[in-house]
A and B are shown apart, each in its own frame.
Chain A
Amino acid sequence: MRSRGRGRLWRSLTLRLGVIYVALFLTSTALMFGAAYWMAVYRPLQNEAQAVRREMGDLAAIDRAGGRDALIRALITREASGAKKPFHALIAPDGKPVLANLPSWPDEALDGWTLLEADIYRGGQEHDYEALVVENRLDDGARLIVGRDVESIDDRDELFTIGSAWLILVAACLAIGGSVAMSAAVGQRIDAVTRTARRVMAGSLTERIPLRGTGDDFDELAATLNMMLGRIEESVESVRRVSDNVAHELRTPLARLHADLDELSAARTAAERDRLTEQALAEAERLQSIFDALLRIARIESGRHLAGMKPVDMTLLLADAIEFHMPEAEARGQRVESDVTAGLVIEGDPNLIFQAVSNLLDNAIKYGGEGGLIRVAAHREGEEVSISIADRGPGIAPEYRERVLERFFRVPATAATPGTGLGLALVNAIVGLHNGQMEIGDAAPGALVTLRFGAA
């Protein structure tokens, strides 16, 4: 599964995120423990120390005022009264203890706060004590050590030290393990996308990113990318089809043109030359019109035609278009019925819209049959202007309704009717440029084409 090298592993975002996650997790755990330690251990210890310092001050004062005996009495009284066990040691200047309930003390004078082990054996049992002591030298050089039991705080200290070490170790393991697992899981999904993309790039357009079916973010991303791949595959396929068609559609008139010119060079009579010249010109014109239409479609589809956008009076435009095509319809004995609401205005390029409507009318007349009826209707529907053109010809079978919008596609049955198969593709491109919609339906009988544009 893993195709990443060591260098890439370190560069990988998921790994970096994992490391950051572990660092943040450990920092926050340490801060939490620090705060708890401060509250549970450090501050109570400070409080005890202050109390001991006050007692030391009092005892030293007693010693100065009442002499050594008063001090000894005070020490004995103190030992009897304290809720927490009070410790003391009075050591004569020659080093001999005068009075002490501490089991031991260092020979050197203590400087500042000190914790002393003060375990006491009583009745064969060891009682654990920890004394927080401070030392003062009395006026005659005797040492007075006074302290209090902080065993409970010390226990807490120990618990915290060992407990937090273990907890941080376990948390670190969990965080590292979790982030590695997370990084691997995310990495795997990303690898899947990367692998698919590479295969698509290598030319396998049908590849899709596998979905887990969990509907998670990655599934959603994969589904979106798959849709994108689908669209790309479709458009590549359509480009391929179009270029095949272009090749075919242009080759045929080119071949005919070639044949005409070939025969022309061998023509013997003026009449024959005239006929061949005319044929050749007609082929050249046909080639030119195919070429122009293709270029126009490409240009419109690439959205380079937006400059001419302005309000277009569709009522007027449709009347002009119908009038333009009227002679053609009449020549075929067709009637054109128009049901157009007055004052329909859309935002668009009038020349292109006219081209689109003209192409549709031309189709309706061409395929509408002798003596048929062509109906042009245009109305406002909410925020849209809908324009429909219907004929009573054979119509377009449902299976071809999408495909007739492709360049060069012609419904098989219409092969005998002259045409390039570009008319509807051009209409479709024009409608697309105007953010409109084009629907091909059934006029039962006949074809019904509906265009919808946003009303201006």
Chain B
Amino acid sequence: MHILVIEDDARVAEHIGKGLKSAGHLVDVESDGRAGLLRAAAETYDLIVVDRMLPNVDGLTIVQTIRATGDTTPVLFLSALAEVDERVAGLRAGGDDYLTKPFAMSELLARIDVLNRRGPAIVAETKLSVGDLEVDLLGQAVRRGGRPIDLTAREFRILAYLARNEGRVVTRSMLLEHVWDYHFDPQTNIIDQHVSRLRQKVDRGFDTPLIHTVRGTGYVMRADG
């Protein structure tokens, strides 16, 4: 992927650049808001990672400007402004995701992966399948190898989110944001327990596990073990 990073802190920009490059992406870095905006307008990128607070032109304005020109390039905000209302402001301005600093590179990569997969067109999927697992989004029913699996509403949402992002790493904070409609800081790593309950229902008794833990980051759903 060709990614534009607009970040004024040289150390952070270097860290992001290195991380993205080692994940196989092509990276351009701008450290100034105005230069970043010009570059985003002049070239075609697969994704833009933009800081909220930048010299000359701030991140919100950059995104509003490129959206006003009809550009739908996915944008990921990367900001130290972490509160709910700040995040909402970022998403309202046209951002597709919002990650707060400090962040783990694995989290950034996972989110970029998911944003990339979301792609240009949103297809209304009603059925997802991962290996022998079938998830019926309309009927809220799950079958594996033809056998129905009984899930709670919440477990179903976790599973659907994982299945929709098959093969992509889904971080704990992504799960929290997408599955629970509350933005808060769980005091414990309780997401793990929810996933482990789900895993017991989905993977127990089958030869190949579908839900895999990615150490230090989150989970990935994959049929090939």
- A residues with a Cβ closer than 8 A to B are 278, 281, 284, 288-289, 292-293, 295-296, 299, 305, 307-308, 320, 323-325, 327-328, 331, 350-352, 354-355, 358-359, 362, 366, 419, 423
Contacts and interface: CB of A to CB of B under 8 A. Distances in A.
Given A331-B193, A350-B182, A355-B184, A308 B82 contact: no
Interface of B: 82-85, 102, 104, 152, 154, 180, 182-188, 190, 193-194, 196-197, 216
Contact of B193 (A328, A366, A419): A328
Nearest to A422: B187
The interface centre, meaning the residue of A307, A331, A351 with most chain B CB atoms within 10 A of its CB, is A351
* 5 interchain residue pairs of minimum CB distance: A327-B193, A355-B184, A354-B182, A362-B187, A351-B183
A331 B188 CA distance: 13
B215 to A, nearest CB: 9
Contacts of B84: 308, 351
Contacts of B187: 358-359, 362, 419, 423
Majority secondary structure, B binding face: loop
B76 to A, nearest CB: 20
Given A284-B102, A299-B83, A324 B180 contact: yes
Given A292-B82, A299-B83, A351-B84, A281 B190 contact: no
Contacts of B197: 327
Contact of A292 (B185, B188, B194, B216): B185
A331 to B, nearest CB: 6
Given A324-B180, A351-B84, A362-B186, 13 more contacts: A292-B82, A296-B83, A323-B152, A323-B154, A327-B193, A328-B188, A331-B193, A351-B182, A352-B184, A355-B182, A355-B184, A355-B185, A419-B187
B184 A354 contact: yes
Contact of A325 (B82, B83, B85, B190): B190
Given A289-B185, A293-B185, A351-B182, A308 B85 contact: yes
A327 B190 contact: yes
Contact of B102 (A288, A295, A305): A288
Contacts of A308: 84-85
B218 to A, nearest CB: 14
Contacts of A289: 185
A278 B185 contact: no
Nearest to B180: A324
Nearest to B193: A327
Contacts of B185: 289, 292-293, 296, 355
A358 B193 contact: no
Nearest to B198: A327
Contacts of B83: 296, 299, 305
Nearest to B104: A281
B40 to A, nearest CB: 29
A327 B194 contact: yes
A423 B193 CA distance: 21
A389 to B, nearest CB: 14
Contacts of B196: 327
